[in-house]
Amino acid sequence: MSAPTSPADLYRRGLRLLLDKNIPAWVALWADDGLMEFPFAPEGWPRRLEGKEAVAAYMRHYPDHIDLHDFPDLRIHETTDPRTIVVEMRGVGRLVESGAPFDMTYIAVVTVRDGLITSYRDYWNPLAVRESGTAFTGSTR
């Protein structure tokens, strides 16, 4: 039997899957009751996705909107809870519709239980989206 995956290793694996545009495999990293939150989401955008199916629906068309190329400046910080990490990173690529560059800074607080993501709080900057004209908000808008 293999050793459990650390939250940091699971997160890095998830980033590789996003770069590969393998959204079903990325969603498979989630617990059925996983919770994804966007505390800084602007009015009219989703702030809370409850359950793996809601996360899957939100992410299903992500590659149709944002073509991610890399996650430079990745820093993963361990916390006093061994199941929780804090992640600082940038996502860079291009917006599919316009071809404009995409460059977003993220801070995420991620909790993993039994090798699956149970909580993901994504503190992205809605002002950067507004300035770039990005229209992606997942399938919930």
* pLDDT 10s digits, 7-62: 999 999 999 999 999 999 999 999 999 999 999 998 888 999 999 999 999 999 99
Topology of domain 7-132, CATH: Nuclear Transport Factor 2; Chain: A, (3.10.450)
- In this structure, how many other beta carbons lie within 10 angstroms of the beta carbon of residue 30? 24
For the chain, domain boundaries: 7-132
CB 45 within 8 A of CB 54: no
Name the pTM for this structure. Answer: 0.87
